[in-house]
Structure 1
Amino acid sequence: MTYPAPRPPAPRSGADVAISIVVLVLTVVMGAAAVFFGVFSLAFLDHCPPETCSVDGAVNAVFTALLVAAGVGVVGLVLTVVALIRRATAWPYALATFALCALTLFLGGVGYGAAVG
């Protein structure tokens, strides 16, 4: 009995790999900047008047946004890498990860703004 020869793997798109890596690196840089500015913004809440400002609300908004963005980033990274390993198109996963992290951080900034009045 003879078995058919295995099919060679599909060619990997260099542009797909490059775009995916660049977008994921930009996502990490955006996350690092968000951590820096988020913690920096919380450092100056000691002059926050209690009648118009909620320190607890500001802390919750910043840390919730950072944790959710980190979770979205890890899931997006895994999905992108899996797509690259399978030689499927991966850049949409990387771009969606960037967009969802940016949206999460924006909403955290809105929550921070609402908390500090």
Structure 2
Amino acid sequence: MRPRSGVDLAISIVAMVLTVLLGAAAAFFGLFSLAFLDHCPPSRCSVDGAVSAVFTSLLAVAGIGLVGIVLTIVLLALRRTGWPVAVGTLVLCALAVFAGGLGYGAAVG
């Protein structure tokens, strides 16, 4: 068996924890922002667009995060390098949250 790299394990665990925290924060702030859409003037605001942007973003983060974390754990269990997958998952989740924020901003204008 290959020796397990402590640096790889540490970076992977930190990136996975940050991915989960990012997803939880995005869910909290996304749903919190939807709670105050009742003051949105209909002439320049699309409630359906805002809801769609938030839930699409959260669904993307959940899917990307789940697949990335499972793949990272499998790679670490096989004693292969897992940190690129973990960091890539974190970056992709951050991009999905950013895209959802842009969609929400465009919808509520």
**In 1, Cα distance between equivalents of 2:9 and 2:62:** 22
Aligned to 1:74: 66
Aligned to 1:63: 55
**In 2, Cα distance between equivalents of 1:93 and 1:27:** 12
Aligned to 2:44: 52
1:35-46 alignment, distance < 5 Å: 35-46=27-38
Q: Whose helix fraction is larger, Structure 1's or Structure 2's?
A: 2
**In 1, Cα distance between equivalents of 2:60 and 2:90:** 13
Deviations 1:67-86 (Å, cap 9, x if unpaired)? 11100000001110111011
| Counterpart residue type for residue 65 of structure 1 | S
How far 1:16 sits from its partner (Å)? Answer: 0.6
How far 1:56 sits from its partner (Å)? Answer: 0.4
How many aligned residue pairs are there? 109
Aligned to 1:105: 97
Aligned to 2:87: 95
| Counterpart residue type for residue 35 of structure 1 | A
Structure 1: stretches of 5+ with no match in the other structure: 1-8
Residue 42 of structure 2: SS of its match in structure 1? coil
| Counterpart residue type for residue 26 of structure 1 | L
Aligned to 1:5: none
| Counterpart residue type for residue 51 of structure 1 | S
**Normalization by structure 2: what TM-score?**
0.98
Identical residues among aligned pairs (%): 69
| Structure 1: 4+ residue segments shifted above 3 A | none
How far 1:97 sits from its partner (Å)? Answer: 0.3
| Counterpart residue type for residue 86 of structure 2 | A
**In 2, Cα distance between equivalents of 1:12 and 1:76:** 20
Residue 35 of structure 1: SS of its match in structure 2? helix
Structure 2: stretches of 5+ with no match in the other structure: none
